[in-house]
Amino acid sequence: MTTALPPFVSVIVPTRGRREMLLRLLRSLFAQTYPKDRFEILVIHNWTPDGTEEAVAALAAGAPVALRYWRKDYAAPTDSRHFALGEATGGIFAFTDDDCEATADWLSAGVAGFADGIGVVQGCTLPRPDQPRRFLEKTIEIRDATPYFETCNIFYRREAILGVGGFSPEYHGRWYGEDTDLGWKVLRRGWRRGFAPAALVHHEVFAAPLLAWLKEPLRLGVWPELVRKFPELRGELWLGCFLSPETAAFALAVVAAVAALALHPAALLAILPYVVVRWHNGGRFGNPVLRLARIALGLPRAAAIFWALASASVRHRTFVL
C-alpha cells in the first residue's frame, strides 16, 4: 500500500535590511519537522547592501531544503510576495516574515489545518519569549483567527490564492491592507478559513521610537476602504462600526469633549469608558504608574487613529471608527 506524499509547500519570505533576523528565520525553517524534500523556501530581497545576498548564498550552498533567492527593488513587501506567487511550485503557499522565527512544527501544523473546502489557514504568532516587553514597542500577537489575515503567519491553497489573482494591484507598493484584502477575496470566492494554533511563529519585539509609535496607526485609515469593498467585514467589527472597544470608547470621549464645551462640563464623565478600556488593555504593566503613563501617552496615538478612520470614512463614504 502506497502512502500519499504530504503536500509540497512553498515558503515565501520577503526581506529588506534584516540580514541576521533573516538568517535566524531560515535556520528555523531548516529545522522543520516537515519532510525536507516536501518544501522549498523563496527569499525575495528588496536589495540592501548589508551582505544579505552573500549570506543567503552561503546558507543555500549547504541547505537541507531547496532555498531560492531573487534580488529585487520593490517599494513594499506586497510586491515581493506577489512576485513569488509566479515562481512558487507548491500546492500550498506559506507566508512568514524576516522578523519571525518558526517553531519546529510550524509547517506540519499549518498543513494539517487544511480540510475540504478550507482555502486559508492562519497560524499563531506570539512575541519572542526571550525578549523583554517594552513600554513602546512593535510586535505581533495572534492567538486566534483574525479578520486581518496577517501574512506574518498564514497558509493558502495554491488554487485559492491564484484563483483570485493574488494580491490586488491597488495594494502593490503599499504597506497595509493587502493581506486583509487577499483573505477576504478568498473567502468571497467560497473558500472557508481555518486556524492552526500549533503553527506557531515568534515575532521580534522592536523598541518603537515615540514618533513612529504615534504615527503608525495612520495606516488604519485603510479600513473604511476595505469595508466598502467587503461589506461582510462589518460582521468582524465591534458593534458593526468600530475596530475595537478602544476606538469606540475614544470616539465617545471625543463626543464628550465637544459636548462639555457646548453644553455642560458633566459630559466629560463620558470619557471614563476610554480610561477603563485603556487601563484594562495595559494589563501586562503591573505598575499602575506605568499604566497611567501609557494612557496619557496613548492619547495622541488614539487621536491619530480617530483622524485616520474618520477622514477615510468620509473619503470612502462608509462609517468605520
Per-residue model confidence as pLDDT tens digits over 71-113: 999 989 999 999 999 999 999 999 999 999 999 999 999 999 9
200: domain CATH number is: 3.90.550.10
Cα 134 from Cα 116, distance rounded (Å): 42
In a domain, residue 3? The reply is: no
pLDDT of amino acid 218: 87
In a domain, residue 2? The reply is: no
pLDDT of amino acid 283: 63
Mark whether 214 and 296 lie in a shared domain: yes
Q: Provide the domain limits for residue 101.
A: 9-208
Mark whether 196 and 241 lie in a shared domain: no
Mark whether 149 and 272 lie in a shared domain: no
pLDDT of amino acid 2: 58
pLDDT of amino acid 227: 97
Grid coordinates belonging to 72: 529585487
Structural domain total, the chain: 2
Please, which residues have CB within 8 angstroms of residue 228's CB and are 6 or more apart in sequence?
A: 316, 317, 318
pLDDT of amino acid 1: 53
pLDDT of amino acid 179: 97
Cα 110 from Cα 157, distance rounded (Å): 11
Residues lower than pLDDT 70 in the chain: 1-2, 283
In a domain, residue 39? The reply is: yes
Q: Is the model's pTM score more than 0.75?
A: yes
Mark whether 17 and 150 lie in a shared domain: yes
In a domain, residue 137? The reply is: yes
Indicate the residue among 193, 208, 223 that finishes a domain. Answer: 208
Which residue has 503599499 as its cell numbers? 174
Mark whether 62 and 168 lie in a shared domain: yes
Indicate the residue among 208, 243, 267 that finishes a domain. Answer: 208
Amino acid identity of residue 164, one-letter, is V
